[in-house]
Structure 1
Amino acid sequence: MNYVLNNIPVRTEKPRASGLTMVMDKGLSIREVEDFISANSDFVDIVKLGWATSYLTKNLAQKINLYQDAGIPVYLGGTLFEAFVIRDQFDDYRKVVQEFNLSFVEVSDGSITLSHEKKCDYIKLLSKEVTVLSEVGSKDAAKIIPPYKWIEQMQKELDAGSWKVIGEAREGGNVGLFRDSGEVRQGLVEEILTKIPEEKIIWEAPQKEQQVWFVKLLGANVNLGNIAPNELIPLETIRLGLRGDTFDHFLGDLKL
């Protein structure tokens, strides 16, 4: 840091097992990736190439190499996994993972109908080869999954070999964990946390108000995902109580 401030929360250090920030790259150029790494590499833990944007991204191998050379793992969005599976091309998907030397993958079923048993089979198989993140929740705002089902699916996916489970919110933060207004389904989150350890969950929280809510609930080292590249340092200030939204949260009894 550039100067000393007291009463700042202690952040976990990279490589982190908790306090993770997953950034969503929705199509950054090579120049933008270089600039992003230069300014933000200390604060980003994982980069997701959103949904199936990697299918269209120019210089994909170069982009992935830039992130990896900076010590930042990259994975392809879960929607791409689903696009391969629905076309009966799972083996081709594995070849893509190998071709681009990816050490992380995301397994999801937010856009396709897939039995949970089959989803866990994919997790078991892939976890023997790479680190698996699996996403729970639907991208369909009309599909409301009861809390017990979230818990059951998260636990089974962790048991199958997922490193972390991801709470679905999409890039807009208006489905899954959140109402269409962006408001957190507070009861859902709190019930999940009665059974699933918080360090095992990455909460997709693209909106500032959502990030603030999770930091106030779980502290500076909550795992958060689907963060826009230009919102990474702003998020870090929220984590550290250096933005108005959380300014008083970590001060304790400190008064003027």
Structure 2
Amino acid sequence: MNYTLKSIPDRTQKPRVNGLTMVMDKGLSIRQIEDFLEVAGPHTDIVKLGWSTSYVTPNLENKLKIYRDAQIPVYFGGTLFEAFIIRNQFDDYRKILDKYDMKFAEVSDGSITIPHDEKCEYIRKLSDQVTVISEVGSKDAAKIFAPYKWISLMKAEIEAGSWKVIAEARESGNVGLYRDSGEVRQGLVDEILTQIPAETIIWEAPQKAQQVWFIKLIGSNINLGNIAPADVIPVETLRLGLRSDTFDHFLDMEAS
């Protein structure tokens, strides 16, 4: 940090496994990535190339190299996995991961229906090849899972080999964990946390109010996902109690 302040929450250090900031790259150019990393690289833990953007992104190999040279893992969005699965091209997907030397892969079923046993088998197979991050929850706002369902799905996917499970919200933050207004389904989160360790979950939280809510609930070292590149520094200040939304929260914790 640039100077010293007392009573700042302790943050885990990179490379970290808890307190992750997962950034959503929806089509940044090479120059934009370089500018982004200059400012936000120290606070970025992993980057997702959103949904299937890697299919149409120019200079993909150069883009991946820039992230890797900055020692920031990058992976393809889960929708790309689903696009291969729906076309019966799982083996082709595995070859693509090898071709681009991917170390992570996301397994999701937010856009298509995959029997859960089959999804877990994909996780098992891919976990022999890469580190798997799986996603629970639908991108369809009409599909609302009961808390026990979220818990059972997460447990099964962790057991199958997922390193982390993502709690779905889309890049808009108005499905899955959230109501269409963006409000957190608080009861759902509370139930999930009774049986799934917080450090195992990446909570998609693209909106500031959602980020604030989760930081206040779990603390500075919560895993947050779908963070926009321009929001990485603002999110880090929220984590450290250096923005008005969390300012008093951490001062009160220190005084207690």
**Deviation of 1:161 (Å):** 0.2
Gap change, CA 1:129 and 1:254, over 3 Å in 2: closer
Q: Deviations over 1:45-70 (max 9, x none)?
A: 00000000111101000000100111
**3-state SS of paired residue (2:43):** coil
**3-state SS of paired residue (1:83):** helix
| Amino acid aligned to 2:103 | S
**Deviation of 1:254 (Å):** 6.9
CA distance in 1, matches of 2:24, 2:248: 29
TM-score normalized by the length of structure 2: 0.98
**Deviation of 1:17 (Å):** 1.1
Number of equivalenced pairs: 255
**Deviation of 1:253 (Å):** 7.0
Gap change, CA 1:67 and 1:158, over 3 Å in 2: same
Name 2:100's counterpart in structure 1: 100
Name 2:199's counterpart in structure 1: 199
Q: 1:149-228 counterparts in 2 under 5 A?
A: 149-228=149-228
Q: Deviations over 1:20-56 (max 9, x none)?
A: 0000000000000111111111100000000001111
Q: Deviations over 1:178-223 (max 9, x none)?
A: 0000000000000000000000000000000000000000000000
**3-state SS of paired residue (1:252):** helix
Gap change, CA 1:253 and 1:167, over 3 Å in 2: closer
Name 1:230's counterpart in structure 2: 230
Name 2:79's counterpart in structure 1: 79
The answer to whether 1:117 aligns with 2:112 is: no
Name 1:28's counterpart in structure 2: 28
Name 2:48's counterpart in structure 1: 48
Name 1:66's counterpart in structure 2: 66
| Structure 2 unmatched runs, 5+ | none
CA distance in 1, matches of 2:159, 2:244: 40
**Deviation of 1:79 (Å):** 0.3
**3-state SS of paired residue (2:105):** strand
Name 1:8's counterpart in structure 2: 8
CA distance in 1, matches of 2:20, 2:156: 22
Q: Deviations over 1:149-198 (max 9, x none)?
A: 00000000000000000000000000000000000000000000000000
CA distance in 2, matches of 1:49, 1:210: 22
CA distance in 2, matches of 1:13, 1:149: 33
CA distance in 1, matches of 2:19, 2:31: 28
Gap change, CA 1:69 and 1:253, over 3 Å in 2: closer
**3-state SS of paired residue (2:177):** coil
| Amino acid aligned to 1:222 | I
TM-score normalized by the length of structure 1: 0.98
The answer to whether 1:37 aligns with 2:64 is: no
Between the two proteins, what is the percent identity of the paired residues?
69
Q: Deviations over 1:214-252 (max 9, x none)?
A: 000000000000000000000000000000000001112
Gap change, CA 1:124 and 1:209, over 3 Å in 2: same
Q: Could you say which structure has the higher helix fraction?
A: 2
CA distance in 2, matches of 1:99, 1:41: 25
| Amino acid aligned to 1:172 | S
Which is further off, 90-99 or 220-229? 90-99
**3-state SS of paired residue (2:213):** helix
**Deviation of 1:98 (Å):** 0.6
Gap change, CA 1:154 and 1:254, over 3 Å in 2: closer
Name 1:252's counterpart in structure 2: 252
Name 1:130's counterpart in structure 2: 130
